[in-house]
């Protein structure tokens, strides 16, 4: 094969890689369809409702920070907690093992290229302002297949399914740090992290490249809630 043929093959392989990236990599953005919100910063409330993060054996690394954003909306308080890990390291079998080792979390480190530094996942609480009760939770959970492929599942938990006591416990159930709401008793024998939340400033938001001006296979928004950027676009 000549030089021209070699370049064509490389180009075609590159195109297929971009297509695969587009299909396999994404950050879930929860759209906001409510009324206008008033963004706010309240450390006391953020600490009161901050969830406990639980990690079992094999989940690495330890979470290193929790950032929050908050807003008031028609008698409710919205709090988005963003849990941060220094990195994520993919596992799996067959194709998924090769994909993670050579391209995504290892090798070319496409995860960092696409999203930004570290790994950042999100949990949102909707709180009734009058009673102080959490009336809705939104987060991403995971279905882990035997092959190692992980299916992202956006989950909405309504009031009748939410434990009444604080703090809430969320267990990390996949290598890419997706969650499951659990009872405190289910955390026995596992590592428990109670981190003090810090406000997610615009500077930190930009550092973690939470939102991108232009979306594409190699540039995608990270998981967040639509109201967090109201008035900031």
Listed by start position, the domains of the chain span 38-86+115-229
CA distance 169 to 50: 9
What pTM value is reported for the model?
0.83
According to DSSP, the β-strands at 29-30 and 38-40 are: unpaired
β-bridge mates for residue 179, sequence order: 172
CB environment 63-75: b (16+ within 10 A), e (fewer): bebbbbbbbebee
CA distance 149 to 162: 29
Would you give the end-to-end CA distance of the chain in angstroms?
A: 49
CA distance 66 to 172: 14
Q: What is the pLDDT along the chain (233 residues), one digit of tens a residue?
A: 454 444 344 334 444 444 444 444 456 778 877 778 999 999 999 999 999 999 988 898 999 999 999 999 989 999 999 999 998 776 665 555 555 565 556 555 676 767 788 899 999 999 999 999 999 999 999 987 776 678 889 999 999 999 999 999 999 998 889 999 999 999 999 999 999 999 999 999 999 999 988 877 777 898 999 999 975 54
CA distance 26 to 10: 25
């Amino acid at each position: 094969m000549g030089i021209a043929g070699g370049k064509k093959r490389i180009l075609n392989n590159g195109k297929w890689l971009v297509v695969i990236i587009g299909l396999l990599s994404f950050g879930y953005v929860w759209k906001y369809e409510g009324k206008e919100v008033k963004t706010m910063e309240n450390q006391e409330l953020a600490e009161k409702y901050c969830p406990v993060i639980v990690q079992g054996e094999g989940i690495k690394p330890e979470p290193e920070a929790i950032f929050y954003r908050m807003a008031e909306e028609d008698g409710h308080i919205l709090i988005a907690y963003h849990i941060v890990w220094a990195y994520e390291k993919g596992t799996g079998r067959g194709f998924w093992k090769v994909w993670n080792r050579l391209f995504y979390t290892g090798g070319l480190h496409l995860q960092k290229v696409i999203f930004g530094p570290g790994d950042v996942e999100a949990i949102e609480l909707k709180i009734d302002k009058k009673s102080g009760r959490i009336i809705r939770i939104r987060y991403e959970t995971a279905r882990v297949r035997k092959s190692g492929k992980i299916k992202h599942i956006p989950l909405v938990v309504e009031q009748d399914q939410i434990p009444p006591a604080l703090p809430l416990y969320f267990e990390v159930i996949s290598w890419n740090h997706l969650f499951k709401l659990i009872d405190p008793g289910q955390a026995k024998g596992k590592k428990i992290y109670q981190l003090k939340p810090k406000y997610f400033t615009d500077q930190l938001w930009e550092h973690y490249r939470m939102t991108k001006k232009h979306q594409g296979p190699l540039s995608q928004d990270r998981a967040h809630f639509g109201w967090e950027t109201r008035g900031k676009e």
